[in-house]
Amino acid sequence: MDKKIGFIGGGNMAKAIIGGLVAGGVVPASNLWIYDHKVATNQALQQQHGIQPGDSASQVAREADILFVAVKPNAVLKVLKEITGDLNSDTVVVSIAAGVTLESLAEVLGHDRKIVRVMPNTPALVNEGMTSVTPNVLVDQSECDEIVAIFRSFGRAEIVPEYLIHAVVGVSGSAPAYVFMLIEAMADAAVLGGMPRAQAYQFAAQAVKGAAQMVLQSGEHPGVLKDSVCSPGGTTIEAVRVLEQKGFRSAAMEAISQCMSKSEQMSRH
């Protein structure tokens, strides 16, 4: 990709994107620009990846063909107001802010701007991210493809219409927290069974990772995969029976439903 890509904000998600782009060879490091209000962050990313540190947000905005705004959600609109006049007319502005709609971004940037809203999750930090990509109508297909390619450099990415953003938050954005709780609970049970804790975390985490990989690679329905582990009268079906008795699936659905509702409430403010 021969575009100049700028980042305003050098937090974890910006670092994950920059690392993925450089490691995957998607963009030359010399075409990547960063401005964070902490000078040490800019210098550290320059030293680590060979990217260009900007003197200001405005400088990075002027340089970029694709501009990632990776600051905290409550600062996004303020930062965009400050740099709107520095953007080129064709620059694609990409917002990572949860709860900030395409409409509210357009109200600040102008309704003639190319804007993309993305929702990555924290496994992006270990090259296993899942990202939704939501462009406005002014972003053309080739530009959409470029944004998707950027996020596929450190995981998976799919185009998603904005009305499904709350579902993305529930099933992906917030989901690592539920999975961490599941791994912790599984490990606690193994410790109860006598296994050392450090080993228990390894067994539990690898089981979850492996099961997820089977769903992604096999194309089989998760229920079919579950059935294949359940021998007649065996240990697994006993565990499944107890999980059903305790409302495991219902609890997960209810939690994610509440997560989606909260996301919807937050986006109205």
Tally of CB atoms within 10 A around 225: 13
Q: Note whether 218 and 204 are within 8 A (CB).
A: no
More confident residue, 195 or 269: 195
Cα gap 257→190, rounded to integer Å: 30
pLDDT higher than threshold 80 for residue 147: yes
CATH 3.40.50.300 assigned to domain 173-267? The reply is no
Long-range Cβ pairs for the range 21-26 (8 Å, 24+): 21/150, 21/153, 22/49, 22/50, 22/51, 23/127, 23/153, 23/154, 24/153, 24/154, 26/1, 26/149, 26/150, 26/153
pLDDT at 269: 65
Q: Note whether 80 and 109 are within 8 A (CB).
A: yes
Residue range(s) occupied by CATH 1.10.3730.10 in the chain = 173-267
Residue range(s) occupied by CATH 3.40.50.720 in the chain = 5-160
Model's pTM, two decimal places? 0.92
Kindly state the average pLDDT of the residues 145-159. Answer: 95
Q: Domain spanning 5-160 has what CATH number?
A: 3.40.50.720
pLDDT in tens, 17-45: 999 899 888 889 999 999 999 999 999 99
Report the mean per-residue pLDDT for the chain: 95
Kindly state the average pLDDT of the residues 213-230. Answer: 97
> CA dihedral defined by 59, 12, 151, 161, rounded to 10 degrees?
-90
pLDDT at 268: 80
Percent of the chain with pLDDT over 90: 88
pLDDT higher than threshold 90 for residue 109: yes
